[in-house]
Amino acid sequence: MKNVILLGGSGYIGTHLSEEWLRKDPKVQIISVSRNGKPGKLLPSLVNHNRIKWMSVDIFDIDSYISKLPQQADAIVDMVGTATANSKEDFEKLNAEPVKIMVELMSRLNIPKGCYISGRMGMPFKNKPFLESKHRGEKIALTSGKNIGIVKPSLVYGDRPDAVVMVPFVQAVGLFNKDLKPIKVNQLAQQIIQICI
């Protein structure tokens, strides 16, 4: 069995990544580590899946949960983050600091591959602090000495109604700036999996 640890895996991208990875690889086991643990609203394919483990923890307190993680893991993905924080400090705590947690877990558990979900676009009026915190997260990943890939999506959409409304706007912007083209959540999941295999 291959073990993959997802930090912040109970969110929109994390649950879709889990679904895609479990569908693609019958030998993968997902360990989703997040503040909320198992989400109340789950994709139907994940409801009773026997190869996903949900852990509700404070990710910043590594010593409280590291013994519950598999001692052999093949990859770790940091998906902890926000585009809607109310302060620069909150953006920093949720978008950059978790990269340090990923790096420490990679060291302590000898995890060979990692992936950081950065970003290309934040919410209106919050874009600058969002991007600054994501860039700091990238810098932490790149200077860690670890094998950490980085994906930088703009708007991630799929079956989420709040994002679908913005797709035409982002597609129009994407005509002039290819970096801002929206991406379907399953395409992003495939990019993350490619980095980690």
What's the pTM?
A: 0.89
Give me the CATH number covering residue 54.
3.40.50.720
- Structure confidence by residue, pLDDT tens digits, 36-82: 999 988 898 999 899 999 999 999 999 999 999 999 999 999 999 88
Query: For residue 116, is pLDDT > 60?
Result: yes
Residue 47 inside a domain? The answer is: yes
pLDDT at 181: 74
DSSP string, 25-78: -TTEEEEEEESS-S-SS--GGGTT-TTEEEEE--TT-GGGTGGGS-SS-SEEEE
User: What count of residues does the chain have?
Assistant: 197
Look up the domain containing 60 and give its range. Answer: 2-156+183-196
Q: What is the pLDDT of residues 4-19, one digit of tens each?
A: 999 999 999 999 999 9
Query: Residue 174 falls within a domain, yes or no?
Result: no
Number of domains in the chain: 1
